[in-house]
Structure 1
Amino acid sequence: MKVRDVMTNRVDWVAPNASVVEIAKLMKSNDVGSIPVCEDMKVEGIITDRDIVLKVVAAGKTIESCIAKDIMNSNLVTVTPDQDVHEAADLMSQYQIRRLPVVDQGKMIGIVALGDLAVERIHVNEAGDALSDISQGAHH
């Protein structure tokens, strides 16, 4: 099974100059913990709720003073729509992440989340193992 078979096609994203408040509201309304940062549909980075806590709140900055490009993680791990879902699960486990932008010819076309990998019975154990590794902070 390929990533394209399980990915979410409609993905909300923010521009590099998006405010922290805008990002947090998008996370809340979509019930997600990360938001891709894109320019012309090219993924520039990703922001997690943890990034907001550590790079803004814990750093003593004001939410008004920070924008997406200030706090985004630009060391991206992405997948293509044609990659096997097992590869996606392995990447999530290896890099301790729950969501991977799906990129085709340089443009973001979707996102695949850890939960998406459990849609097929055969992938339930693999997704569970990846989640366990992520939750425990295991490194391979």
Structure 2
Amino acid sequence: MTVSHILKTKGDEVISLQVGCTVSDVAKILGERRIGAIPIMDGDKIAGIISERDVVRGLAIRGGDVLKDDVSTLMTKSVTTCATTTTVRQLMEMMTERRIRHVPIVEGGKLVGMVTIGDVVNERLHETEQEAEALKEYIASA
């Protein structure tokens, strides 16, 4: 299975913000939309990504004043992305190795979706259930 299958199942809506927003803007959207990370866009290009972990770290270091800061002070600027053709196994390995929980999906230089570790785990569970069912059917027919 590939990332495109995950996007077909969950949808391709991506909540993003533009460069120049504040950490407060990010925190508000994270809370309202109940999401864990937001790509930060410079026009239609990904400039960075900021997660709830980044916001919490900023609060721990600087206190409430960090909420007034530009998002660029906390966001990760070197963003790990993948394509819709990336396999679920490849994506899982990438997320594990890099210790990340959110990966923007990019096709032709455009942001087309976002996948979380929860999406990947759900897909792998579904694949495992399908494999187990196929084995049961094979054994029953033998």
Normalised by the length of structure 1, the TM-score is: 0.79
1:122 deviates by 2.3
- The answer to whether the aligner puts 1:42 opposite 2:45 as a matched pair is yes
Partners of 1:14 and 1:123 lie apart in 2 by 36
Which residue of structure 2 aligns with residue 112 of structure 1? 115
Which residue of structure 2 aligns with residue 74 of structure 1? 77
- The answer to whether the aligner puts 1:9 opposite 2:12 as a matched pair is yes
1:64 deviates by 5.0
CA contact (8 A) 2:58 2:66 kept: no
Alignment of 1:1-140 (within 5 A): 1-7=1-7, 8-60=11-63, 62-117=65-120, 118-120=122-124, 121-122=126-127
Which residue of structure 2 aligns with residue 134 of structure 1? none
Runs of 4+ in 1 over 4 A off after TM superposition: none
What amino acid is aligned across from residue 53 of structure 2 in structure 1? R
Normalised by the length of structure 2, the TM-score is: 0.78
- Radius of gyration: which is bigger? 2
CA contact (8 A) 1:15 1:68 kept: no
What amino acid is aligned across from residue 3 of structure 2 in structure 1? V
* Structure 2: 5+ residue stretches without partners: 130-142
Q: Identity of aligned pairs, percent?
A: 25
Aligned residues: 124
CA RMSD of aligned residues (A): 1.9
Which has the larger helix fraction? 2
2:18 match: secondary structure? coil
